[in-house]
Amino acid sequence: MGFRMGIVGMPNVGKSTLFNALTRTAEAQAANFPFCTIEPNVGEVAVPDSRLDKLAGIAGSKQIIPTRMTFVDIAGLVKGASKGEGLGNQFLSNIRECDAIAHVLRCFEDDDVTHVDGRVDPVADAETIETELMLSDLESIERRLQNLVRKVRGGDKEAVQQERLLKEAQAALESGRPARVVEVSEDDAKAWRMLQLLTTKPVLYVCNVGESEAATGNAQSARVAEMAAGQGAATVVISAQIEEEIAQLDAEEAAEFLSELGLDEAGLDRLIHAGYALLGLQTYFTVGPKEARAWTIPVGTLAPQAAGVIHGDFERGFIRSETIAYDDFVALGGENGAKDAGKMRVEGKSYEVKDGDVLHFLFNA
């Protein structure tokens, strides 16, 4: 099951540097001029989870396979992007294909790195990007409403629902608020997602600070945190410069380097975990002598649908799942110990999978 997070921001805020470190590649060209990223670079990143290593050790698994997220490095947006300024609408469409947005904001001072507007103001940058996404959504809504007129007059139920939702989004946008503030009923949830409006995407603000400020943040990142709190959004403080250096080190060297900087973990790990939480995702595990593997599912997923992430046949022929909570698996020394202690549960089609569950599915082929 693929989840995509778009990395967006103004030119020269450190997006491509962050992407390079995030994916441990040099696929995204990081250069000191606007629009150095022309095509969106895509990288898959393992979601760090110490539980998986623990489970593999207990089960003697030969292979460890973490779950993954996809990050998309999208070109720097500028004021007027919704009207084609900079590299314009091409990149707004790249955002539309993502599940969430990691909005990188420049919170560092460096005279050697130019800013497209000649100043460092992350809150103003955030407002610029949000405005462009809102303007793009308004233009898209107006066009779609015109195309729906004939179907609505004909009584097409789907068109009537789309028109109502589009008008609710339009009202929010015209009042200066993103479409994500619209409260959507469960009956409308699927149709709402199908609209693919840019400002319905959940947003994570990534404050890119200088190396000496990575552990504590600075006045600029504090301003961003205040803004995010007012929106009910999350923030992560990170130094793209540090992350780029860490990406070149082995695990032991990276841990020592982080310790010297007063950091418990890499900023990238915090970014990935924050993105995971932002999208409402959780992990379950399958464990055996051959492999220990993590699987990504949305919170609230039922057992048959969780099985379907492995293979469609598992969902179609689902019978039951043998379930062990992570803590029980670890405390009791694995599957056999959990069975002997009565901690393996048999769950049916209505079971809502919990984060950390160790599952074995039984199904009809």
Residue-wise pLDDT tens digits, 117-126: 567 899 999 9
Average pLDDT over residues 159-168: 95
pLDDT score at 36: 39
Confidence check: pLDDT of 128 > 80: yes
**Domain assignment of residue 350, given as a range:** 300-363
Confidence check: pLDDT of 283 > 60: yes
Nearest-angstrom CA–CA distance, 17 and 241: 7
Q: Which residue has the tokens 């464990």?
A: 287
Q: For 81-99, what is each residue's pLDDT tens digit? A: 445 444 445 567 778 888 8
Do 124 and 265 share a domain, yes or no?
yes
12 is in an annotated binding site: yes
Instruction: Calculate the CA 84 to chain-centre distance.
Output: 26
Confidence check: pLDDT of 104 > 90: yes
pLDDT score at 40: 54
pLDDT score at 33: 38
pLDDT score at 78: 52
Do 84 and 16 share a domain, yes or no?
yes
Whether residue 287 lies inside any domain: the answer is: no
φ, ψ of residue 176 in degrees (nearest 5): 85, 20
Looking up residue 258, the CATH number of its domain turns out to be: 3.40.50.300
Do 236 and 355 share a domain, yes or no?
no
pLDDT score at 168: 96
The pair of structure tokens assigned to 19 is: 């992407």
Could you tell me which residues come within 8 angstroms of residue 16 by beta carbon, excluding any fewer than 6 positions away?
A: 28, 29, 30, 31, 36, 37, 41, 73
Report the percent of the chain where pLDDT is more than 70.
88
Confidence check: pLDDT of 55 > 80: yes
Higher pLDDT, 229 or 323: 323
Do 211 and 304 share a domain, yes or no?
no
106-142 exposure pattern, b = at least 16 Cβ within 10 A, e = fewer: bbbeeeeeebbeeebbbeebbebbbbbbbbbbbebbe
Contact 210, 241 (CB under 8 A): yes
At CA 39, angle to CA 196 and CA 131, rounded to 5? 45
Region of poorest pLDDT, from 24-33, 258-267, 355-364: 24-33
Average pLDDT over residues 206-214: 92
175 is in an annotated binding site: no
Do 11 and 149 share a domain, yes or no?
yes
17 is in an annotated binding site: yes
CB count, 10 Å around CB of 82?
A: 21
If pLDDT is split at 50, 70 and 90, which confidence band does 138 have? very high
Parallel/antiparallel/unpaired status of strands 234-238 and 203-208 = parallel
pLDDT score at 85: 46
Average pLDDT over residues 311-340: 96
Nearest-angstrom CA–CA distance, 269 and 246: 12
13 is in an annotated binding site: yes
Confidence check: pLDDT of 339 > 90: yes
pLDDT score at 144: 95
If pLDDT is split at 50, 70 and 90, which confidence band does 38 have? very low
Looking up residue 332, the CATH number of its domain turns out to be: 3.10.20.30
Task: Tell me how far CA of residue 72 lies from CA of 10, 90, 168, in angstroms.
Answer: 15, 14, 29
Whether residue 273 lies inside any domain: the answer is: yes
Report the percent of the chain where pLDDT is more than 90.
54
Region of poorest pLDDT, from 11-25, 164-178, 240-254: 11-25
Average pLDDT over residues 281-293: 96
pLDDT score at 117: 59
Number of domains in the chain: 2
Whether residue 291 lies inside any domain: the answer is: no
What are the DSSP E strand ranges found in 78-233? 100-106, 203-208
If pLDDT is split at 50, 70 and 90, which confidence band does 34 have? very low
pTM for this prediction: 0.81
Region of poorest pLDDT, from 111-115, 235-239, 345-349: 111-115
Whether residue 284 lies inside any domain: the answer is: no
Do 100 and 150 share a domain, yes or no?
yes
Domain end point (choices 216, 246, 278): 278
Region of poorest pLDDT, from 58-62, 259-263, 354-358: 259-263
